[in-house]
Structure 1
Amino acid sequence: MPSDRTARWGALPPAGPQRTLAAAQLAAAVGDGAYYTCSALYFTRVVGMSPTALGLGLTLAWALGSLAGVPLGHLADQRGPRRTSMALALGTAAVVAAFLVIRSSPLFLLAVCLYATAQSGLTAARQALVAALVPPAQRTALLAHIQSTLNGGLAVGAAIGGIALSVGTRAAYLAAFAVTALGFLIGALVLRRLPEAPPATGPSDAGPRLAVLRDRRYAAVTAVNAVLLLRMPLLSLIIPLWIAARAPGIGWLGSALFVLNTLAVLAFQVRAARGITGLEPAARAVRSAGLLLLGSCAVFGLSALDVPVWAVGALLVAASVLQVAGEMRQSAGSWQIAFDLAPPGRIGQYQGFFGTGVAVARTLGPLLLTALLLEGGLAGWLVLGGVFLAAGYAMGPVARWAARDRGHAVSPPAPPVVAGAAPGA
């Protein structure tokens, strides 16, 4: 019989609700991969939107989505996270399916806003579902599995989207969107296999309905995490621009580094999350992430020096390895902290609020980092690394301050898991 450690940290999550949650994420991630690969070029080349209009529309969409995360998370707490997750997955599928018939730019922008709103709410509802079905000390292990699964699904979806891009016709783009809608539809159907998680009772019944909006300590933790999430635009935006400006002969390396990041998370995220079962181990993980991200920024910055092209490439690869190591540690630590500090009856709304850090990083990151790094060179990279280091070291004290007077703040030890049995049964 597998040991508890094997059950929690093996290649697959334990059979039962945990594996079902991972399977639902896989289906949705395949759809997301196809959508993210094709959407920008479809809107500009086929629909006829200008890049500026598209950029403003996406910024507006994700800003609205981040605002919707808290009330939709609260809805999951009140109506049940399984039911809410299914509804939002079906809503996402319907919105993407609308791309098959919509022809005007205003309607596309409306659809994109609805897509971002449903996605933000779905993330919060899924986290509430994890909290309802999985013992506290096993949640980070499961989320590591889900993150690994997500990257694998994104890779498959991106490959499908790549085929659509190579064909380049309206029909090919629409076929990719059909895959996206089908992925979310399948994800909703998979969620039906889960037991019904009852609506929250207890702490959520007293006090203000959206209590997280008055929780300054949790807001501080979210703000520190948002600073660390500024790593997100690096590989997708900054590094391709950096290579184009300093070593255009190896422009292909930007895509290769993105693939490297995806495969590393797929292979090592579960291992990177080992031992993170409470607030203190999570704070240590985030602190180590700050150190790794500092090292990554320093090595990225060295590529600005007058060195041969092969040396630039080697430095960029080394920096990307350090970055993905920091990313995995930061992700695992932040998951645990976000759950440990959320009141049991308000997991959905608290997770929705914590998820706004992603929207902040996606919205402000490109503006801040292009000015700091592309113009600042090595000095700019060192400043960013210092910011990451400071945030990594600040997370522990801020999280402990937020945990003060919260009886639920530290996760209990993990109960033994019997292979093949539903966790928490």
Structure 2
Amino acid sequence: MANTSSPLRQASRAPRALLLAQLSNAIGDGAFYVTSALYFSQIVGLSAARIGIGLTLAWAVGSVAGVWLGHLADRRGPRTTAVLLALATAAAVASFLLIRSFVPFLVAAAVYATAQSGLAAARQALLAGLVEPSARTEVLARLQSTLNAGLAVGAGLGGLALHAGTRTAYLSVFALDAVGFLVCALLLRGLPAVAPAPTAAAGEPRLAVLRDRPYALLTLLNALMLLRLPLLSLALPLWIVQRTSAPGWIVSALFVLNTGVVMLLQVRTARKVTGLPEATRAVGRAGAVMLASCAVFAVTAAGLGPWTTVAVLVLGAALQVAAEMRHSAGSWQIGFALAPAGRIGQYQGFYGTGVPVARTLGPFLVTALLVTWGAPGWLVLGGIFLLVGAVTGPAVRWAERARAQAPEARGATELLGAR
């Protein structure tokens, strides 16, 4: 009789377990994101400036540490590393329950950001070890859809805590997030183990990604494309309130539109991206569509009536989410396909720094362009997206040439020739 718990059968169930793990911590994170700033300001008593400085420093530390933790996942095994980092994230969130002053807040936030960054890299390495390359982009799309769904549910739960406004309600949200990461750790622990990568040969750098200039350029370009992240959460709400005649509720409606479209269509969009040529085209088109979206948003400063402004904003948001889905699918394929097989953890840790960089520096850059310059700022921002999309293709081809000339690639070619 066949063994139903064979490694092959376990691996076939890996995408489902990864989805459930994503959902478990996304619900808690969604509630945490909408309540944490108000908790630390209104309940703990930290100033907005200190909260901002603390989070900026924390994510800066997390971005750097994520590369090292990704390297650790490669060398020690991504499953064990991911489980430990999920537990560390749960502990960091739980420690927020005890925070009463700035220094402990800074330390806890740094641990939280470091564990989150490392966990993201380790989970990517785990996914790479359990999912066939041809299926990775679609699985990542499902994970993104699940993430959006979980964040939406969590945001609703966080809204209940905000409505209550009590210390107990806020602490319940933190406890929910911590439990979510404990469940995540349990689910990841049930996945098959992925063998650690071989130890680097003598003379090879431990963090090869830091010397990979083409990949570093692609990471920078990806971070620039991710400037779309603070658009919906920060810049666009400020723009709507300060520069348009649209009603305030449209901010929430645009967020719901974005989340819903990604949940429904991200997987379908990702299925079209099966290799690097499709990925570079997807990112290039995303840049062009983002330019169109920015141009549409700029029109709303022209003194249109409230309902006309709402219609134009919805059109701009629809273009923005279309570009987001194309960029996400292309970016996932590029980040995985150009990472050496034994170094996916450190490469994904480095590539993933684009998200905290965009979330940390993006609000300043985007609001400086849009709030200060107005409509011309939208066009400048759209031009940046267009340029980044256009440059991605040559950067990918440079990375492919560099990968083909790498010692490990030449050795594999010689081995095949000998056979």
Is the TM-score greater than 0.5?
Answer: yes
Counterpart in 2 of 1:415? none
Counterpart pick for 1:398 among 392, 395, 400: 395
1:102-161 per-residue CA deviation (whole Å, 9 max, x = no partner) reads 322321221111111100000000110111111111110100000000001111111111
Counterpart pick for 2:256 among 238, 256, 259: 259
Aligned 1:233-272 pairs, distance under 5 A? 233-247=230-244, 250-272=247-269
Distance 1:239 1:117 in 2: 29
Counterpart pick for 2:334 among 334, 337, 349: 337
1:39-95 per-residue CA deviation (whole Å, 9 max, x = no partner) reads 000000000001111111111111111111100000000110010000000110011
Counterpart pick for 2:320 among 315, 319, 323: 323
Identity of aligned residues (%): 61
Aligned 1:238-387 pairs, distance under 5 A? 238-247=235-244, 250-387=247-384
Kept in 2: contact 1:203–1:344 (CA 8 A): no
Kept in 2: contact 1:141–1:270 (CA 8 A): yes
Distance 2:334 2:202 in 1: 23
Counterpart in 1 of 2:41? 44
Alignment size in residue pairs:
396
Counterpart in 1 of 2:27? 30
Kept in 2: contact 1:89–1:187 (CA 8 A): yes
Counterpart in 2 of 1:104? 101
CA shift for structure 1 position 206: 6.3
Distance 2:371 2:96 in 1: 36
Gaps of 5+ in 1: 1-13, 410-425
Distance 1:332 1:70 in 2: 22
Distance 2:203 2:83 in 1: 27
Counterpart pick for 1:130 among 127, 132, 135: 127
SS in 2 for 1:234: helix
Q: CA RMSD in A?
A: 1.6
Kept in 2: contact 1:343–1:408 (CA 8 A): no
Kept in 2: contact 1:203–1:343 (CA 8 A): no
Q: Does 1:209 align with 2:212?
A: no
CA shift for structure 1 position 248: 6.0
Distance 1:318 1:204 in 2: 54
Kept in 1: contact 2:240–2:248 (CA 8 A): yes
Kept in 1: contact 2:61–2:110 (CA 8 A): yes
Counterpart in 2 of 1:423? none
CA shift for structure 1 position 307: 1.1
CA shift for structure 1 position 393: 1.1
Counterpart in 1 of 2:60? 63
Kept in 2: contact 1:47–1:105 (CA 8 A): no
Kept in 2: contact 1:275–1:281 (CA 8 A): yes
Distance 1:304 1:204 in 2: 59
Gaps of 5+ in 2: 1-10, 407-419
Query: Comparing both structures, which one devotes a greater share of its residues to helix?
Result: 2
What amino acid does structure 2 have at the position aligned with 1:180? D
SS in 2 for 1:285: helix
SS in 1 for 2:98: coil
Counterpart in 1 of 2:8? none
Structure 1 runs of 4+ aligned residues shifted over 3 Å read 202-206
1:226-247 per-residue CA deviation (whole Å, 9 max, x = no partner) reads 1111111001000110111023
